[in-house]
Amino acid sequence: MSISYSDSLPDLLCEEDSEGVLSGVPPTLDCWSVPEPPAIIEELIAELIEDEKESVPDFDCLAWLRSTSFDASSRQDSIAWILKVHAYYGFQPLTAYLAVHYLHRFLYSGRLQQTSGWPMQLLSVACLSLAAKMEEPLVPSLLDIQVEGAKFVFESRTIRRMELLVLTVLKWRLRTVTPFSFIGFFACKVDPSGSCIEYLISRSTEIILSEIQESSFLEYLPSCTAAAAVLCAASEIPSLMSLVNPEQAESWCDGLIKEKIAGCYQWMQRLLLIKDNNSRKPPRVLPQFRVTTRAIMSRFSDVNPSSSSPSPYNKRRKLNNSLWVDVNKGSSEQ
């Protein structure tokens, strides 16, 4: 499937001041290859650990998920779809992480009254599209990004309007401190010789993405998640197993809390064991429908469907045995 800029949104590009969306960009896992004095690097990491408390949502998302009638399976399916599209296009790990981060922040706002079905899918597409536009050099069109078992296919103009609603709710704050800001630094702490750095970084990244669907993932700050993931990766290397000590990880940098790292490490190890035991089971297959919707944004208070162009949608893809549903009328045609 081709990748193009045909559906990119120039409207989303804006001039930002020093406090804007692109300011204070945290370093990613590739940035630590630049030689810097150790003291400067540790100072930068300490600042990131301090900043992460401000950059993550100012609410207990895990407690909120457990205290509401939220459809947990719908959330898991949405994240699973995001990860599948991430793998399909070979997106950067940060893209998938940011998409899930935007998803959680929007859900907590309460603007999505129906947290299942097409509203949840539309939100997932919008969050992934925004994350890709933030991080990827090439972004699939809004039609092409709806692959890998997407149950609904939305018109591009509908997704654009949903993107703008997400941006409004998130107050255009799309940058945040993530676990990938710390992985390279922590990997160097575990393996000062540098002989296994590449494996530690890639394996830690894999562990984080494999467990991002779990609600307990929301309990830990990015620095804690990164430290635990690096320790899990190190525990798989015989020469580094003796260095795996969650309690001592607190000494890697100011701001780390050994109890939190130990709890996250144990949680990750349990999940990895469960996933390993279940890896031989056949994967769950979700039904796939190709659906387009018209005027569906009336469900969202900040969007006025009548403001969109009434011109017919001329990009609709004709698929064999596809199902086209008019949400407003509740009718379908084969």
Mean pLDDT score of the chain, rounded to an integer? 74
DSSP state of 232: H
Q: Where do the structural domains in the chain lie, given as residue ranges? A: 60-176+285-333, 179-278
Q: 110-162, pLDDT tens digit by residue?
A: 777 776 788 889 999 999 999 999 999 999 999 999 988 878 889 999 999 99
Comparing C-alpha atoms, which of 46, 136, 130, 123 is closest to residue 88? 136
Share of the chain above pLDDT 70, in %: 66
Average pLDDT value for residue range 224-244: 91
Comparing C-alpha atoms, which of 236, 258, 256 is closest to residue 246? 258
Q: Would you state the pLDDT for residue 132?
A: 96
More confident residue, 37 or 194: 194
174 has pLDDT over 50: yes
CATH homologous superfamily of 60-176+285-333 equals: Cyclin-like (1.10.472.10)
Tell me how far apart the alpha carbons of residues 219 and 143 are, in angstroms, rounded to a whole number.
34
Alpha helical stretches, state H, 12-155 = 38-55, 61-67, 72-89, 93-109, 117-135
Q: 75-90, pLDDT tens digit by residue?
A: 888 999 999 999 999 9
